Structure 1
Amino acid sequence: MRHKLCTAAVCIGMLLALALPAWAAEYGKANITPQTTMNELRENPSIVGSGLYTYSREQDCTLKQAYWGTQELEKFSNQWTAQDAAEGLNQLIRNYNAGIQITYPLYTAEEIAQDTSRDVVELYYFPAQGETKNRKYALVLGGNALITSAEIREGISTAWQMNQMGYTTFVLRYRIGIRAGGNAPMEDVARAVQYITAHAEQFDVQPEQYAVIGYSSGGQITGLFGTDAVGYRNYGLPKPGALLLGYPVNTFRELKPGYRILLDPGVLAQRYYDMNVSDYITPDYPPTFFWCGKNDLTLMLMDWYAQIPQLQKAMEKNGVPYVSHVYDNAPHSISTGRGTDAEGWLNEAVAFWEEQTK
């Protein structure tokens, strides 16, 4: 009898061993580090299964994909954001392995058929961990440079830190480049908030008093979303509890004609890239926390004094509650600011958000 039991145990063990590769093929390990190559990251079954878009530097360019695929996450992201991005990717993997849906397309098949540019618009879900039910949520918009987006570098790195503070966070992949004609990015932000609001019970979040976190050009879109002119009111949405902006663009200034020619040739109607955020700030504008660095070369090239200083003046003129920082060492595209003077900004910004929404 004992022999039969042992034989059965061995057989069961062999069957389990044989079954393991099939199970392993469905789920990946949460073992992403800043030294993980992008090809290795993209071969992780859980990242593949999650639907996360990881080609933010290459877009549809095959040659760039071949190059960036061999590069480490630290180079693909950057030295300041790679660790938080890796932690966020590992959390995404754990969430996916636990059966949590990560990716939510924001437009229906019918809407995409009407405008195929909508096909790229997605929302990535990072639920709060632990006993943090029914709390306010944050929506993150990374920056973009027409052909480069920042879902990993700025979106996931921020979502990770927000999760550590107990907040459910959503990262928005919105339309950029030639897909961003009309006021497409504004429509995408509005659709994201509409979707979260409609599914607040499912996501276990409060539908009001949310924060929108925007970086660089995503900061310009976020800033405009807070305005009466083209923002949340125009879509019948609740007012954001706060806008939290990292190195935001206030105006594209000399770049505006180029945007017009590239995105909306022959169109005379006003577009979001034509607008200076500071020109549309009113007394009921959402409380805002914003910052940049003195060594931010991108904002310097775009006329630094037309950026943060103009936002400060508009906030003061209209009596909008705000906090503004100009750090000595805080380059562009550093997201959570690890290893710079801006490190810890997100904690301060969240405290500001909470104070304004008591």
Structure 2
Amino acid sequence: MQNKISRRQFLQVTGASAAALLLAGLPVEASAASGHLTVTPDTLVSDLRADPTFAASGVWTWQSAVDSPDTPEAGTTLSDYVGANMAQDSADALNYLADTYEAGTQVTYKVYSPEEIAADATRDGVELYYWPSEVPGSKFVVVMSGNVLNKTSNMSEGYATAWRLHQMGYAAFVLRYRVFLKAKDNAPVADLGNAVRFITTHADQFHVQPENYALLGYSSGGHLAGVFSGDELGYKHYGVPKPGALLLGYPINNFFEYKPVYHAAIDPFVLEGRYYELNISDCVTDDYPPVYHWYGENDYVFPLLCYPAQRPALSRALEQHHVPCKEVLFPNATHGVGTGAGTDADGWMLDAANFWETQING
């Protein structure tokens, strides 16, 4: 096992690589400034957004993905905004990003080039937020939060999860992908494919292994990870390695009755099928990546989406194709709890990481 280096040593090493990353056309330069706001669960969201370091870092501090982001009412704390169970992890995640940025390491990356953004302005909001590992040569995880229409959970599910992965020794990237009306023409799948290609292409600068990475997705983010791991729209179309494992929290297998609604709203006048019309279970093949997936028995979402078409259908497909998998049910862990803090699911990420490591190490 590799010896850990100190956080200061790591930041000195990664700071030297920032110039190389910027040469790749990556905006949001790192700063040598210091003294950012120390974020706690009681920090006002308005104060967080007014802080010069967080503003300069480019880190997205909204739970919405629209051009006019939501503006919380005066007095809204981080705990109010992301939920009490994920507030401390989210605060720690934000503080680490600010520290890393102030030490000279870029933490926000555009997935698409300026030319690609000029051709399609919706690509401008597709970004990766980076929590480096303190162990160079570590594996990396791409985290995708869930979303409901234009509302996303990057600040809660995403950042809290990335912080815990960082503490476990992994490099973590939270992907801000296009949602709802910006998700036409399979845009979220393209966002994920280009994000993975971006990371693996710059693996040396990020100090990560380009293979055996994991995709961690919640709810609709889990659906995206599942579709990306199949043949029809997945990783093979982007020239990137197959994921080493999928780590999925309450993934949507089948959007069921919402499929025609999404198609009419997102891709009107288009006859071809789209990613949201695919079921994860239909994407499973004999060479599908290993899957860890968990659910709460008191989840309120799946009864609204025809429960037999969800977890049971996915489990059956994985079993039929002999895909290595582990399914976990928690009595008290409803939809949207992310890391599981404060619920029966707390600790699921350690179990999932152990599953991932076992699969890739044989």
Check whether TM > 0.5. Answer: yes
1:32 paired with 2:43, answer no
Give the 5 Å matches for 1:89-108. 89-108=94-113
Q: Distance in 1 between matches of 2:129 and 2:46?
A: 21
Q: Distance in 2 between matches of 1:69 and 1:327?
A: 36
1:76 paired with 2:77, answer no
Could you tell me which residue of structure 1 aligns to residue 354 of structure 2?
A: 351
Shift of 1:30: 5.3
Q: Distance in 2 between matches of 1:301 and 1:295?
A: 13
1:58 and 1:68 in contact (8 A); partners too: no
Extract unaligned runs of 5+ from structure 2.
Answer: 1-30
Deviates more, 1:161-170 or 1:108-117: 108-117
Could you tell me which residue of structure 2 aligns to residue 44 of structure 1?
A: 51
1:183 counterpart SS class: helix
CA shift digits 1:184-231 (9 cap, x unpaired):
000000000000011000000000000010011000000111111211
Shift of 1:29: 3.0
Structure 2: which amino acid aligns with 1:31? T
Shift in CA distance, 97/342, structure 1 to aligned 2, threshold 3 Å: same
Could you tell me which residue of structure 2 aligns to residue 329 of structure 1?
A: 332
Could you tell me which residue of structure 2 aligns to residue 20 of structure 1?
A: none
Q: Distance in 2 between matches of 1:149 and 1:84?
A: 17
Shift in CA distance, 69/38, structure 1 to aligned 2, threshold 3 Å: farther
Could you tell me which residue of structure 2 aligns to residue 59 of structure 1?
A: 66
1:57 and 1:76 in contact (8 A); partners too: no
Aligned with residue 130 of structure 2, among 125, 131, 141: 125
Q: Distance in 1 between matches of 2:32 and 2:66?
A: 27
Aligned with residue 174 of structure 2, among 160, 171, 181: 171
Could you tell me which residue of structure 1 aligns to residue 202 of structure 2?
A: 199
Q: Distance in 2 between matches of 1:91 and 1:111?
A: 30
Give the alignment's TM-score, normalised by structure 1.
0.89
Q: Distance in 2 between matches of 1:177 and 1:247?
A: 20
1:140 counterpart SS class: strand
Structure 2: which amino acid aligns with 1:157? A
Could you tell me which residue of structure 2 aligns to residue 115 of structure 1?
A: 120
Shift of 1:74: 1.1
2:140 and 2:214 in contact (8 A); partners too: yes
Could you tell me which residue of structure 1 aligns to residue 265 of structure 2?
A: 262
Shift of 1:28: 3.8
Could you tell me which residue of structure 2 aligns to residue 283 of structure 1?
A: 286
Q: How many residues align?
A: 331
Structure 1: which amino acid aligns with 2:342? G
Shift of 1:60: 3.7
Give the alignment's TM-score, normalised by structure 2.
0.88
Q: Distance in 2 between matches of 1:292 and 1:37?
A: 32
Structure 2: which amino acid aligns with 1:84? D
Structure 2: which amino acid aligns with 1:354? E
Could you tell me which residue of structure 2 aligns to residue 19 of structure 1?
A: none
Could you tell me which residue of structure 2 aligns to residue 85 of structure 1?
A: 90
Shift of 1:146: 1.4
2:247 and 2:293 in contact (8 A); partners too: yes
Shift of 1:27: 3.4
Q: What is the RMSD of the two structures over their aligned residues, measured on CA atoms?
A: 1.6
Larger Rg: 1
2:32 and 2:103 in contact (8 A); partners too: no
CA shift digits 1:92-126 (9 cap, x unpaired):
11111111101110111211121111111001111
1:81 counterpart SS class: helix
Structure 2: which amino acid aligns with 1:311? L
Shift of 1:152: 1.1
Q: Distance in 1 between matches of 2:43 and 2:32?
A: 19
CA shift digits 1:63-107 (9 cap, x unpaired):
x41x34631111211122111111111111111111110111011
Q: Distance in 1 between matches of 2:93 and 2:332?
A: 25
1:52 and 1:102 in contact (8 A); partners too: yes
